[in-house]
Chain A
Amino acid sequence: MKSSEKILPYIIGGLLLLAILVANLSVLFRYLFESPFTWSDEFLRYLFIWVVFVGAALSYKNDELIDMSMITDMLKSQRATQSIEIFRHFCSLILIFVITWQGLDIMLGQLRTGEVSTSMEVPIWLVTFSLVFSGIIWIAFAGEKVFKAVKKWDKNNGEEVQI
């Protein structure tokens, strides 16, 4: 797990560098050699879909997704704060589960029909797989957060502490 966490930034950074190079080369080829890439548009779209879903799961893990903490920050009771903590991660867990499940359903359908993309002719299920793949790691992250929040709740069990 640790080594994969170290290597992941380089994979995502590398993919983005590749995206920058492909997009620039595509402009260059269109003007200099008057032969535009037919595949670059689709390649960049698919690459970004993967980066967005995996990146979003990682931002969730690092608590970097945009949220509104204004109201919850006003809560004085630690008990209430902890209850909300459990509830909101549990809600995320349920949603990601639903989305991943539905994504899997769509992906299996695409596997059956063997549908391919228009210009690169790659199997379409590879795109949907990005949602399923990041959904699975996201479920793991959310599960961990629910688990931690419940543990915190247990620790303070019975003591109503004012903060």
Chain B
Amino acid sequence: MMRFSYQKPASVSEAAGLLAADPSAQIIAGGTNIVDLMKYDVTRPGTIIDINALELTGIAVNTEGSLVLGALATNAETAYHPDVVNGWPLLSSAILAGASAQLRNAATNGGNLLQRTRCYYFYDPSTPCNKRRPGSGCGALEGVNRIHAILGESENCIAVHPSDMCIALAALDAVVTVEGPSGKREIAFEDFHRLPGDIPEADNNLQRGEIITAITVPTNDFGQHHTYLKLRDRQSYAFALVSVAAAVKLDGDTLSEIRVAVGGVAHKPWRRKDVEAEFVGRPATRATFEAFAQALTAGATGHGQNDFKLELAPRAIVRALEQAAAGTPQSQTHKVIV
């Protein structure tokens, strides 16, 4: 771990200013990702900016009925908050599928969006990784790539975004509020995270100095027609191989709305609104869901050890849609997959 200096700004503008001024500075909120990365020498900030004095911990429903999550509210506070449980149960479920209770107690909402990939090569400074060190190559492409992407990759990077919360936020059309040297702006969730392309080192579209202050999730009326389904190599405390956040609205037996975001398959939550639009009005049957799954995963490529995701992802999407349509969301504690 590199030695670093420590600052604790009192306001968002002060924090943004510090970030913008020092290219080697990074913010720390819950610390569950950045301290991990610093200990592995994956990241070596010269200055750590503790933003916990910024008053961004609120969780409330605003006058438009949208859920406003403070960036510094913890994942646990968010998941168990009565407004979230009642009004955005998909979000609560997704959060509770991730990490462990201890980690959820410390991790913040903003930090969850910014967490880095779990790629073995990213984490191992002695191996090539274009994300960690641009131009050094991609160790995973022809290496151990069991947990890697099948959609949206480039030859530079096949890493996956590991968050569960983000998959739900993507499905729920959340909006991220950020503040930086150029002021405040809002970023639609689908525009927050990037695909690797030629700049795999950039996980998201934040500009230097911008800090997430809030995440707003619009009201919804999916009721119980949602699910967060997570498939992984053990029953808990493990990242997703494939995960699906699904929510539907039914008009009789037909789909009047369908939203699916997939995790574990790409550099960002994988969602295709164009595909969703095509399936509005179709019967809520397995055949429809299978067709949807094929359309959503169209173009998927395996890289050897993750070829199984080509089969697993569509199957997971189908099951998730069946659960959502039936109004039987997956429980994160009762491990039977209904």
Q: Do A and B come from one complex?
A: no
**Which A residues contact B (CB, under 8 angstroms)?**
none
